[in-house]
Each structure stands twice: as structure tokens, then as C-alpha cells.
Amino acid sequence: MRLSEYLFQTYREPPGEAELVSHQLLLRAGLVRQVASGIFAYLPLGQRVKHRIERIVREEMDAIGGQEVTLPVVQPAELWRESGRWDRIGSEMARLKDRNGRDLCLAMTHEELVTSLVRDVIRSYRQLPCLLYQVQTKFRDEPRPRGGLIRVREFTMKDGYSFHVDTADLDLWYEKVYQAYTNIFQRCGLDAVAVRSDPGMMSGSDAHEFIEMSPSGEDTILSCASCGYRANRQVALFGKDEPAPEEPLPVEEIHTPDTATIDDLARYLDVPKTKTAKALFMVATVTDEKEAAVDRFLFAVLRGDMELSETKLANAVGALQLRPATPEEIRAAGAEPGFGSPLGIDRSRTLLIVDDLIPSSFNLVAGANRIDYHMANVNYGRDYEADLVTDIAAAGDGSPCPACGGALRADQGIEVGNIFKLGDKYSKAMDAGYLDRENASRPIVMGCYGIGIDRLMASIVERHHDENGICWPASVAPFQVFLVDLSGGDPHISEVAAAVYDDLVAAGLEVLYDDRDDRAGVKFNDADLMGIPVRLTVGGRGVKKGVVELKVRRTGQMKDVPLGGGLAEEVTETLASCT
């Protein structure tokens, strides 16, 4: 492809709104253009990278027996009502009506539709297991798109779904997909690690995320160097040191002016935060006995040195959504913001959840439900009891490992893929079954597997770049060779450059031929910015010596290569090292 005929535009400076390196470089190098918040168009250069990533994904999914399908982006509400998720998913789902008033939605995932597909096709255990996948557009109305392609509203997802006779068969295929994902990320130049995660709106019994460790990531990963334990902070377990037992002391109200935070309270009373109780107020959307979505006011209590894990809290109460309570909602339950106490609240309208460390923590300072006052020597069991006692605390850097007791380390990462064991959640709800060997009807057991193609592209750039631009691994680069014509109007040199281009293309190499009438500096800067693995330069001095200059983008290594039949072989050998 001649660059003079290519649709692209590079920029010297990054747009002001682009904060992450990947966002800046993908825009500057002319791979994508932002159309609206969280919505991007791919230009030809970016489309080639996207197709290369998709090809790797397809090859690895096909290698384990996956069968590709294409499912519609627009889906009827009836399928989502069958699964029960139509009323459970909030504003992230884009809903619309057709001309006849029928409810539709834009697909944010495809569990319902693929389940409806297999229930019409699969009848017998002989048709199982089966793995279907697609590379398809999704739309999720994210409230806060960020980081360019890291978190968007419209995106391309490789989503796969497996179908099994039982959980043992699902476990076998789960490991197959796990390995296929490992292969995909390695081939794309990433070192993604698998961590235990929260199934979220997918539900299911088990889930893993594949995380590319990066300071720009929005996921916090807790890991143990001693035993290898690793989990997303949303669900990470950790050891909790129980304090020594104490004799419960009488409850005493104390004046504590200007102490609306735990830090202020601990300083004012000169006590460690471990001797305080932290109150947090949330509103959870849950389903009642009629499967209708209703709001419940939650009062969560943790020890003052702990932080709340909203994911653990949401899972504990089966919340579809969770949000902070307003001051008005807090006061309506008989509590006071900043001075909340589990003593004396209106239990008829409150679901009280305490962390599992609270019952063994004695004589804590808790709020008094009135401004500038706290209660000393509050003890669980004697002074109040909860509706639920469970782990709702978030692990942090230095927390004890739940497996070996070593110190956990917190690092940031980008989620590039996820896998879920769905079990029979959707097949039971949507009556998708099969006949077993005894001719008995059983629900199909399912797994679900996703990779965000756009986010994967951005993650590759986050990992592979330098101060001059992108450094694409050869496996996903838009072209293999960037050929620079420095003829300066000399027809002989132009003919040599054109002949090199033709020879490389004939050898099966993908070449972007910079034949523009522009300065050498502009061409070299664009070559570095675009990040194509190998740059070849045809100029006057080289032609006189019978050589072209070869530069490896990643290392900056340069050498002269003789013109002639061996050039394509030299480039091919060089590309093999550009991983």
C-alpha cells in the first residue's frame, strides 16, 4: 500500500482529553478517531491491527473446537424477560421500541440469545459438548467512559459459550479455554495473568479475569509472592487478625466535636482505628419474592481500619445495583451521616450487615446517631445484632494472604478477558435441556468466555511503546515493513524504491510504502509513531553502495542490507524476533 493513497492523519501533539498513553498514541498515529464519548471509529491502519488481533483469537478458538457464529446486536426483550435480567439490568442497557411498539435492546452480552439458539437445536447428550463463539459489536452505556479504548460504550467482543452435560465436562472445557486465552495474550505480546474475580451480572459459580498488569489499569489485583494466591480486590480474601478478648465495658455516650471521619475520631480520642466501628450507608436494588426490583437501605459496619468491598456487600445481599445512600435516606432510617450507629436505628426499613471481624472486636467506639457524639464500648451481641454477618472488607496492600499468611501486594491492571462458569442458570430459566443416556431431560450446563478486542489493542499499546510512538509486536502490527523513499525527486532512486516494494510484496510481506513528497524527518517520525516493526530506507547514498538501511523499531538497531534477492529473507528473519 502506498502511503500517498492511504487514508490517515498523524498528529505531533496528543489531544488534551487523552490521558492514557494508548489513547494518545492511537489518536496521534491515525488508527482511531473519537466520534462521541466512548464511541470510536477505526481508520484503515487501526482496522488492520484489529483484524490481526481477531485472527489470532479465531485461530486459538478454532484450535480447541470452537464454532463461529454471528448473533444479532438488536435483541427482543422477551428473551431477557425469560432469564429475568430485563428488569434487573439498569441504565447500562440501551432499550428501544420498534415501529410496532415491541421492546428491544442493544446487546451488551449474548447469554440469552445463544441459549435460545441451542435450545432449538440441541436435543441429545450426543450433541454435547459444544463451543460457539462470535466476534461481534456490543453496546453498554457506560456512565464514565475512560482511557480511549480501555472503557468504551460501543465495543467489539469475542464472546464464546460452551454447552455441557454436567459440571465435570464444563470444568474440562473451562481449562481448555483458559489455555487458549493464555495463548492469545502471549501471541499478542502480553503477559496477562489469571485472577479470581466476581461473576457480576453474568452470575455463575466461578470466574477468572485475565489481567495485563499496568499502572494505567483500573483494577486492583492482590497477589502473594510466597504461594501464588492472586485475586481481584473486589473479591480477594485476606487474613484478619482477631484481637484479644476483653471484658465488655458499659456503653457510654461521649462528646466528640468535629469527628465525622474515622481518622478525626481516632485522633481526637487518641485511640487506634482498630478500636472504632465504621458505619457505611448504601441503597441496594434487589428482587423481592415476586421477582420485582425494589430498593433496600443497607447499614454496613466494619472495623475502623478496614475498607468496604462494595462487590462483597452486593454479593452478600444479592444486589442488582448498589449506590451510596443520600443524607435524607440515612436520616429517614434514624441514623446521622458521619455519626451513624447500629444502636437505635429503624430496623424495619434497614438491612444491617456487619463484617465478620466485628463480633470478635470488643469495646469499639461507634456513632451515636447525633452530630458530634459517639458511643464508647459498643459490643456486638450485647448491644445489637445484625441481619447478616459476613466478610465485606476489602483487602489492601500488605494484608495477610488467606492461603499462607504472607503479605499481599496490590498492583494495578487492565482486564483483557474473562471466563465464567454459568452452570444451569440460563438453561433452567429458559428451558434449554437435553435428553441423557436414560432418556431423562436435564438442563444444559454452560460456560461463558469474553475478550474485549478494543481494550486488548489499547493494552498492547500501553505495554509496547516508547517516547517516539507505538512499538507493535509483529503478530499484530498493521504492516510488517515501513518502506521509506528518500529519492528527493531523483527518478532513479524512486525506481529502486518501487522495485524494492514490488519484490517485498511478491515475497508475501505486507509493506506500507511511504512515497510521499515530504521531508525525511517527517517520514521517520511517522514511521516511529505508527510503530511498524521494520523500517527500510532507500536513499541516494545507499543506492550508490547497493544497500538499503534496515531499522528495527523496537530496539532502534540499524544495519545496511544489500539490494537484491536476499532482502526479503533478511526482513523475514528480523520480523521473527519482533515479538
The residue type of 259 is T
CATH topology of domain 252-393: YbaK protein (3.90.960)
Q: What is the pLDDT of residue 438?
A: 95
Work out the number of other CB atoms within 10 angstroms of the CB of residue 342. Answer: 26
Query: What is the separation of C-alpha 268 from the centre of its chain, rounded to a whole number of angstroms?
Result: 41
Separation CA 410–CA 401 (nearest Å): 12
The 3 state secondary structure assigned to 90-102 is: CCCCCEEECCCCC
pLDDT of residue 289: 75
Q: Give residue-wise pLDDT tens across range 289-317.
A: 777 778 999 999 999 999 999 999 999 99
Q: Is 443 exposed, middle or buried (0-12, 13-18, 19+ CB in 10 A)?
A: middle
We find that the CATH architecture of domain 3-236+410-461 is 2-Layer Sandwich (3.30)
Separation of alpha carbons 189 and 548, rounded Å: 28
What stretch of H or E contains 512?
A: strand 511-514
Question: Do the beta carbons of residue 243 and residue 253 sit within 8 Å?
Answer: no
Side chain identity, residue 511: V
- Which pLDDT belongs to residue 565? 79
- Amino acid 201: pLDDT: 47
ω into 400 cis (within 30 of 0)? no
| Residue 242 confidence (pLDDT) | 87
Per-residue pLDDT at 199: 61
Which residues have C-beta within 8 Å of that of residue 239, sequence separation ≥ 6? 399, 400, 401, 402, 405
What integer pLDDT is reported at residue 204 of this predicted model?
52
Report pLDDT digits (tens) over 148-195: 999 999 999 999 999 999 999 999 999 999 999 999 999 999 999 999
Beta-carbon-side half-sphere exposure of residue 331 (alpha carbons within 13 Å): 5
**What's residue 205's pLDDT?**
60
> Which residues are CB-contacts of 555 (< 8 A; sequence separation ≥ 6)?
none
The length of the chain is 579
Give the angle 365-366-369 at the CA atoms, nearest 5°: 145
The single-letter code of the amino acid at 449 is Y
Residue written as cell 411498539?
Answer: 101
Residues 6 or more apart whose CB falls under 8 angstroms from that of 559 comprise 549, 550
Q: Name 384's bridge partners.
A: 380
CATH code reported for the domain at 479-576: 3.40.50.800
Cell readout for 435 is: 435428553
Round to whole Å and give the CA distance between 298 and 282: 5
One DSSP character per residue, 47-83 reads HHHHHHHHHHHHHHHHHTT-EE----SEEEHHHHHHH
Q: Where are the domains of the chain?
A: 3-236+410-461, 252-393, 479-576
**CA-angle at 198, arms to 196 and 201, nearest 5°:** 145
Which residues of the chain carry a pLDDT beneath 70?
198-205
Query: CA nearest 355: which of 405, 316, 389, 395?
Result: 389
Global pTM? 0.89
**CA neighbours within 13 Å on the CB side: how many for 70?**
3
CB 105 within 8 A of CB 91: no
